[in-house]
Structure 1
Amino acid sequence: MNRFAYVFVIVVALVALSQADINNPKVKATFEKCVGSEKATPGDIEDLKAHSPDLSKEAKCVIACVMKEFKVLADDGKINHDVYMKHAEEMSKGDAGKVAQATEMYDICSAKTVADPCESAYNFGHCIKAEMMARNMPLDI
């Protein structure tokens, strides 16, 4: 995978489904596993794709499940800074500007996390998407 940061693939794939297909086999398999484990309905998934402002708990928990599977989200709802930055540094291929942007986005968006992992994952993902759009970063995967 040669995109800016693998963690963004995970987050954006879940928060911006209508703009990006989940075409990475590992992400897709994990997503499907989480849809099942969180008992998300087809309607929940459609709401994710439609960017519904009123996502069900199950839809938000799918996001949290995937982020936990990739070690981005801890059980306490906090974003794992080291994992996030590891992916950002790997995928930026030495571009200090991209690493700086990833750090800024982490600082902004991790402040939106809460104790509930499902809400935390949703808040973080929504924030990352907004930050990427504000920075004219591509949301496609």
Structure 2
Amino acid sequence: MSGIECGGQAPDFTLRDQFGQDVTLSSYRGSKAVAIFFYPYAFSGVCTGEMAGIRDRLADFLTFDTEVLAISCDPMFALRAFADQDGLNFPLLSDFWPHGEVARAYGVLDETTGAAHRSSYVIDKDGVVRWAAHNAMPQGRDLEEHLRQLTAVV
């Protein structure tokens, strides 16, 4: 699994968040850099810990110049329950149908399990992929490094 190349345009997408609202990546173009967190499963141990880590540092991740989007192949209603249970107040996007279409476009869909790999991308204000990280399934991300990479592109 290699994902998409840095230096090229990020594949655009529109997905529904946990509230059923459409979120389009290109809507941030020209105004915000975006950190995209693909994660395998809502309610799973490592994913729950990572999303709580983002929640706990949300003021660092979300500024006038930055946005964070978390994407899984879980259905929207599962993401709403996940967000409500853990107080996750940032966009959790459902790549449920067509199943895994966005994860596939980013090269991070596990076709066997139907879940996204634990992968991250930082997209600059021009929509260009500036950084990527791919973690093994049981390995949590270094959120400090993600924050450093996100703030470096603004």
Normalization by structure 2: what TM-score? 0.32
Flag the structure with higher helix content: 1
Flag the structure with higher strand content: 2
Normalization by structure 1: what TM-score? 0.34
